[in-house]
Amino acid sequence: MEISREAILHKTHYGLNIYAYVLRQYYQGETVLSLSGRDCKPTKNPFNADKPTLIVKVVDGCATHTDTEEAIAQGNVFDFASLHFGLSGQELNEKLNEELHLRIGHKNGFYTQEESQPQVVAPVHVKLKAPLFSFYTKPVTNINPTRDIDLVEAYSIIKGDSFATCTSTLRSIQDVKEARKYKAFNFDYVTFSGTFSQRNDKHLRKHSGLLTIDFDHVSDLSGLKAELLKDQYFETELLFVSPSGDGLKWVIPIELTKAKHQDYFKAVANYIQHTYKLEVDQSGKDISRACFLPHDPQAFINPKYL
């Protein structure tokens, strides 16, 4: 099936996420695009000796660029992506679909057949609002949330160095009971499935529309991560290595209008067992399930939130 430019623009907020993705390959850890409405402030151009000469703006539903020194030709997001990937046409479209995990043409959940390719590009917002959930400071015995955070902040915490030392120390502890105790007292945590007044299912304020799946004692972390990112039914919102270092935390969206949280968990667990031949941690069925935030510099977040 051919992948259209219109479908890609629809999934990448006019193509702005493609510019951001390409620029992050050159400037990791930096803010690569600063939005002001549908235009961006001048940013570094990797094709002009890293000078801040690149101007990105949205014109007629498609992100475009110019270089103030004319180091590269004026063009659109596909021209810019072509400079990075060295591809064009349908090959480039397929590469973007794969690299940005757009899932165009993939099945989308249990209730629809596949992602459609829209005829009209009409996203309302340049940047999607990430789901909110409760954040708690250590130890895990603290059941009163400190504040609400979103996926982007959780991703930043996991990618950052706040828990790098704790994560390294935990993974060096051989005794299982000691490791469990250390984790409970040294890691902040969240309840990805919602915001709470207290960490208890009865005190749910609002469900986030997220479900966390725990994979423990995984022999091939990189292999499973790659498989989950291209799963035909579920779009990955956040994916990172667990504090122990031998598991994965997979955060996916669920449609609560279709089924209850617990029913969704059972269905997803059965799907995973059938598809990947893996058992998942059954504690995920609890809406108020605590999830510790470790250090994982390779954590993945859905680019639609960046």
- Per-residue pLDDT for the chain (306 aa), expressed as one digit of tens each? 689 999 999 888 889 889 999 999 999 878 787 765 556 778 999 999 999 999 998 888 899 999 999 999 999 999 999 999 999 999 999 999 999 988 887 665 554 444 444 433 333 334 578 899 999 999 999 999 999 999 999 999 999 999 999 999 999 999 999 999 999 999 999 999 999 999 999 999 999 999 999 999 999 999 999 999 988 788 899 999 999 999 999 999 998 888 899 999 999 999 999 889 998 888 778 999 999 999 999 999 988 887
Question: Does one domain contain both 65 and 203?
Answer: no
Which pLDDT value is given to residue 107? 60
SS (H, E, C) 201-260: HHHEEEECCEEEEEECCCCCHHHHHHHHHCCCCCCCCEEEECCCCCCEEEEEECCCCCCC
Domain membership of residue 29 (yes or no) is yes
Which pLDDT value is given to residue 131? 92
Question: Does one domain contain both 70 and 139?
Answer: no
Domain membership of residue 187 (yes or no) is yes
Q: At what angle do helices 89-99 and 77-85 cross, to 10 degrees?
A: 80
Which pLDDT value is given to residue 110? 53
Per the structure, the count of domains in the chain is 2
Question: Does one domain contain both 54 and 142?
Answer: no
In which domain, by residue range, is 28 found?
5-99
The rounded distance, in Å, linking the Cα atoms of 302 and 100 is: 8
For the CA atoms of 176, 181, 183, 185, what is the dihedral angle to 10 degrees?
-170
From 82, 99, 116, the end of a domain falls on 99
Domain membership of residue 46 (yes or no) is yes
Question: Does one domain contain both 254 and 198?
Answer: yes
Question: Does one domain contain both 27 and 168?
Answer: no
Question: Does one domain contain both 80 and 207?
Answer: no
Question: Does one domain contain both 44 and 153?
Answer: no
Question: Does one domain contain both 143 and 49?
Answer: no
From 77, 99, 121, the end of a domain falls on 99
Domain membership of residue 105 (yes or no) is no
Question: Does one domain contain both 300 and 208?
Answer: yes
Question: Does one domain contain both 88 and 158?
Answer: no
Question: Does one domain contain both 152 and 287?
Answer: yes
Q: What is the pTM of this model?
A: 0.64
Question: What phi, psi does 227 have (nearest 5°)?
Answer: -65, -40
Domain membership of residue 123 (yes or no) is no
Domain membership of residue 110 (yes or no) is no
